[in-house]
Amino acid sequence: MSAAATGHGLTNNGLTVLSEDEDLFRASVREFAEGEVLPRVEAMEHAGKLDGDLIKQCFELGLMAIESPEEFGGAGSTIFNAILAIEELARVDASVSVFVDVHNTLVTNAFIRWANDDQKKKYLPQLAESKVGAYALSEASSGSDAFALKTRAVEKGDHYELTGQKLWITNGNEAEIFVLFATIDPAAGYKGITAFIVEKGFEGFSVGKKEDKLGIRASSTTELILDNCKVPKVNVLGEVGKGYKVSIETLNEGRIGIGAQMLGIAQGAYENALRYTKEREQFGQTINSFQAVQFQLAEMAVEIEATRLLVYNAARLKDAGKPFLKEAAIAKLYSSRVAEKVSSKAIELYGGYGYVKDYPVEKFWRDSKIGAIYEGTSNMQLQTIAKLIMSGK
């Protein structure tokens, strides 16, 4: 999974240059997505649950430890390869894509950046081999205002007791390891926020209801309940009172992952629409022979390629160790808009068939809507971009 630029190839679009290793990696993920994920999409959508065998395969293929160091069982690769995987999976199914995305860009990333040596040795091999991770920040009263959270951590000798409720937690049903945020001092505001490593088996921890969602239905989005949950002091991730830094810096990378997911959704919807216009006949000819249809497909292709360049650029900057905050925010904002627009247009190109569940494009549209909401709403991305512009950065 090395992303070293050992040679140059081209993506199928012919515009974005990848190294040979990246090309091979993309091809391998696409093969998995089309061969193993696609046949299961309809069943998972109806069940509202990811296929257990598919989860196992994601681990076996190394998709759950792309950036994790080799010494801990990972590939030691880049966020660029991670977003290639997220994009290719979303091209087929957004639920599997976000499952892999959150595990890599939020959970594993948080451990790589903030965990001490003992925590890395204990948890990174588990996250690479078989245990799913989840990221628990949101609450009923803290969405965009993330640090208004009310989950409380009280020091009790060699451990903390956590009490509260988390909402909208992706991978909630499958996860066994949680990066979870609580405040040790509500009066301290954001400076009281602390990140904890919580295991599913800890006393006082339980998973609540799964949300019945518009899209990404196979992805579990759940509440978490903490009732005097006992968390050892050694499971503080980073420093006490510095959880806000863990959260902000992790979510900055996570935005690139969501951008890749939205890119994949748009690509999948476009490819299905393009294929359909070559098959559907009206007035004695295929509908793609009409200039009006050709222009719509051209507009979709332009916006998808612009999205790809924005997402890839943010990932390249991150891997190069350069500032990427503005670029990540732009990529997430724009990609969510394009995914929704392209998938909506795909429905229109299908006509009445696009509106029924027997055909794939309505699902792409439903899956696209979450992109404007989670890991920072579109308004929050605009706020970030505006602040950086006004500050001269």
Which tokens belong to 35? Answer: 């061969």
Angle at which helices 52-60 and 94-101 cross, to 10°: 50
Residues 6+ apart with CB under 8 A from 207: 172, 173, 200, 222, 223, 224, 225
How far is 380 from 201, CA to CA, in rounded Å? 35
88 catalytic, yes or no?
A: no
Judge contact between 361 and 343, C-beta under 8 A. Answer: yes
Q: On the CB side of 215, how many CA atoms lie within 13 Å of its CA?
A: 25
Q: Which residue is associated with the tokens 């029924």?
A: 356
State the CB neighbour count (10 A cutoff) for residue 59: 18
One-letter amino acid of 345: K
Q: What is the DSSP string of 135-186?
A: EE--BTTBSSSGGG---EEEEETTEEEEEEEEEEEETTTTEEEEEEEEES-G
Q: Which residue is associated with the tokens 């810096």?
A: 249
Active-site position among 22, 88, 161, 375? 375
DSSP 8-state class, residue 239: S
Judge contact between 18 and 11, C-beta under 8 A. Answer: yes
State the CB neighbour count (10 A cutoff) for residue 167: 20
Kindly list the catalytic residues: 375
